Every structure is written in C-alpha cells, then in structure tokens.
A and B are shown apart, each in its own frame.
Chain A
Amino acid sequence: GAGVSQSPSNKVTEKGKDVELRCDPISGHTALYWYRQSLGQGLEFLIYFQGNSAPDKSGLPSDRFSAERTGGSVSTLTIQRTQQEDSAVYLCASSPDFVSYEQYFGPGTRLTVT
C-alpha cells in the first residue's frame, strides 16, 4: 500500500519568502507528526495532530511556523518569512493513533533558504 508522501521533495527559496510543505499520511492513520532534521542532527519534534483533538504545537520554534490538517488527512506546514536557519529536512510521519508505537516516516522535504 501507499506510504507517507511529502511534496515537494526539494525546495529552494529566498530568505524572507513563505513556503508550504505538504504531507499525505497513510490512509486511515489518525496521528500525524512533523519533525525537522538539520544537517548532522537528530530529529526535532515540531507539531503533532491526533484526530480532532487540538494539535500539540509545543515544538514549533517560532510564530513563523504553523501547520494545519484538513479533513483529518493531508497536512500543510507553513513557514513564513523564511530564515537561513530554517534550512533542514522536514519529515512527516503518521501512525494509526497516538498510542501505536510505530511511526511511519515520509521521505522528507529538503528546504534550502538562500
């Protein structure tokens, strides 16, 4: 079956521009997570959605970052007024629910801010 997909796979943008990153989770998965991975670093939690509950935004690094999940499926991560330190790989993961122990990761979007 289809796994988690993300688009675009690569995005180069100029400092100060806004970007939108998309995640399509595995069908039926109610939990969706966003992480980012800077060069040579581990994964940093950003935000997670579980069903219709309010999202856990505790990992968002600044108010320039926001995310939404429409219809309990597709999610969009938006970064406004991008900065060079936002350059990273943004990974999305989904799981059947928040108690399931395995998270399935997408291939990521590599964001480069010039």
Chain B
Amino acid sequence: GQNIDQPTEMTATEGAIVQINCTYQTSGFNGLFWYQQHAGEAPTFLSYNVLDGLEEKGRFSSFLSRSKGYSYLLLKELQMKDSASYLCAVRGNQGGKLIFGQGTELSVKP
C-alpha cells in the first residue's frame, strides 16, 4: 500500500525555526513535494526533491533521504503569514499523480 505520515499540527513562535517531518511508504518513487495551503485557498508549490540531500530556497529548505523514506521541510525566521497547512506529497511510478499526506497545520504565534 501507500502511506504518507506527517504530524497533524504544530505550533511555533514568530522568528523561530520549525521542522515539519514526513515519512512515506509508496510503490515506486519519483519525487517528493511540499505544498503550502492557506485556509480556503489552493495549495501552492514550495519544493521538490528527487535526490537525497537538502534543497534550499530562501527561508524554506527541504531534505530527502530515500533510503529512510523520510523528508522534512524547514522554515526559518518564521512569520505570521507562514501559518498554514503544509502538505507532503510523493509521486510514484505511475505518471504524474501525487499521493498526499494529511497535511500539518502550522500555527505561528507572536
């Protein structure tokens, strides 16, 4: 079967760093994705990892370990606007469709 796990919710303080973990078990692997979704809005693309290691993009970084079936999204210098749901998704070996985790609801407090 296919399974993607991430924490349901997290809380962090403005200006701090937060790490959102994602573990996956899928039939085939062809990339791991992180999307951000504000309440009532469409998901927007944050990052893509297909090789092991860290991808950095401004305040956001994403890490992948394929052997461990593990990824994390690191958010630095948290801002109030970072309060959102963060979705981890995996593309398997069946075309472009994504299998999503349930999402992690991040609340940033002052």
Contacts and interface: CB of A to CB of B under 8 A. Distances in A.
B96 to A, nearest CB: 3
B31 A59 contact: no
Interface string A33-50: 101000011111100101
B95 interface: yes
Contacts of A97: 96
Interface residues of B, number: 23
A72 interface: no
B96 A42 contact: no
B95 A107 contact: no
A56 B95 contact: yes
Nearest to A6: B42
Contacts of B87: 42-43
Contacts, number: 63
Contact of A43 (B45, B48, B95, B100): B100
Chain B CB within 10 Å, residue with most, of A50, A95, A103: A103
A34 to B, nearest CB: 10
A100 B97 CA distance: 11
The interface size bin for chain A is 20 to 34
Contact of B45 (A33, A91, A98, A103): A103
Nearest to B32: A101
A102 B97 contact: no
B103 A42 contact: yes
B24 interface: no
B42 A50 contact: no
B96 A50 contact: yes
Interface in A57-110: 58-59, 91, 95, 97-108
19 contacts: A31-B96, A35-B100, A41-B102, A42-B87, A42-B100, A43-B98, A44-B100, A45-B97, A45-B100, A50-B95, A50-B96, A58-B97, A98-B95, A101-B50, A103-B45, A103-B96, A104-B45, A105-B44, A107-B41
Closest 5 CB pairs of A and B: A98-B96, A105-B42, A42-B100, A42-B102, A43-B100
Interface of A: 4, 31, 33, 35, 40-45, 48, 50, 56, 58-59, 91, 95, 97-108
